[in-house]
Amino acid sequence: MAKPVSVEVWNPNGKYRVISTKPMPGTRWINLLIEQDCRVEICTEKKTILSVEDIIALIGNKCDGVIGQLTEDWGDTLFAALSRAGGKAFSNMAVGYNNVDVNAANKYGVAVGNTPGVLTETTAELAASLSLSAARRIVEADEFMRAGLYDGWLPHLFVGNLLKGQTVGVIGAGRIGSAYARMMVEGFKMNLIYYDLYQATRLEKFVTAYGEFLKSNGEQPVYWKRASSMDEVLREADVISLHPVLDKTTYHLINKERLATMKKEAILVNCSRGPVVDEVALVEHLKQNPMFRVGLDVFEDEPFMKPGLAEMKNAIVVPHIASASKWTREGMATLAALNVLGKIKGYPIWGDPNQVAPFLNENAPPPAACPSIVNAKALGLPVSKL
């Protein structure tokens, strides 16, 4: 018998029972569900990560849909439980869904939602923040001040790297990678080298136009280069930000051998997926190269760090907060709720999951569609003509 899990209930007499495994930012997502006759139950257990048994207890005997988190193991066991309870909808409050066995969801006919299109600028901003913080050694300097060690200005105190005129490297020039590149090029007048399987035409045009603008004002122009390999980016760039998908080809993309090819004073930033970086090799490289710096938002065995990483002064580590702006997190909650609601109501699938502005407009009702269902094709779900 599963142990009862504490919940907060909204609209107790609602027709449809929707579970959220965590409290989520904002209240719009709750109101949108209530307006469509949903009973909303929000788990209030004081546990950072719920177990499979906890979530089974939440689902119970009748559940129409679940909003979950990327820390949860959504596989055959949970989708079977949701199906038995009559549920046909699940959504991660995340763009990634590495925690979801989509084949298991297909087996039980459960739609799997995610929340793309709302994290681009927020994630790029954190990558830019980590780049600047590492370059100017801001975290080290902050700790130094708080420890009461500052007793006067010194010529060599926390000397870092100037970004202007340096080269920023981007591996994976999709939406987030391109947004980050634009911030670094325009904000710090850096040159760009990028690697992607597909040509980033809009990004190239942006850098070209900005370079011409600088030149017309008597300043040194900026340039772009599309690399023929990831290794070319690693060799040539002063700051490298990782934005690939995580699959078999990108697991430990950054390993001992590739770290050795990078500049001794390079900066490496990862706001994509933790296993893209071999963390053990990274710790050793940081030890051997004190002027090499890194900014990490994600980790190989999250929430844990590999031994030694926390002690490295040339590493900035933050707890997976790339999407943690108020607007973005509230938007993610709204999109996740609308994915579940849309499947419950039989709505079609929105045509472009990256164009979600109509769902986030608080001054108008959201479209009658599911914002993003990753297995829509496998389930044969119709696409909206809106």
Cβ neighbours around 380 below 10 Å, total:
6
Whether 235 is a known active-site residue: answer no
CB 99 within 8 A of CB 73: yes
Cβ neighbours around 228 below 10 Å, total:
9
CB 123 within 8 A of CB 99: no
Question: Angle, nearest 10°, between helix axes 120-135 and 175-188?
Answer: 50
Nearest to 317 by CA among 328, 335, 326, 304: 304
Please give the full DSSP string across 78-127, using - where no structure is assigned: HHHHHHHTT--EEEESSS--TTB-HHHHHHTT-EEE--TTSSHHHHHHHH
**In Å, how far are 84, 96, 191, 267, 301 from 305, measured between CA atoms?**
38, 20, 32, 19, 7
Annotated catalytic residue: which of 273, 285, 293, 329?
Answer: 273
Q: What is the distance, to the nearest Å, from the Cα of residue 75 to the centroid of all Cα atoms in its chain? A: 21
Whether 273 is a known active-site residue: answer yes
Q: What is the Cα–Cα distance from 333 to 336, expressed in whole angstroms?
A: 5
Please give the full DSSP string across 174-221, using - where no structure is assigned: SHHHHHHHHHHHHHH--EEEEE-SS--HHHHHHHHHHHHHHHHTTSPP
256-282 burial, b at 16+ Cβ within 10 Å, e below that, comes to eebbeebbeebbbbbbbbbbbbbbbbb
Annotated catalytic residue: which of 28, 84, 226, 320?
Answer: 320
Annotated catalytic residue: which of 140, 204, 265, 302?
Answer: 302
Q: What is the Cα–Cα distance from 244 to 113, expressed in whole angstroms?
A: 21
* Enclosing H/E stretch for 18: strand 16-20
Query: Which active-site residues does the annotation give?
Result: 273, 302, 320
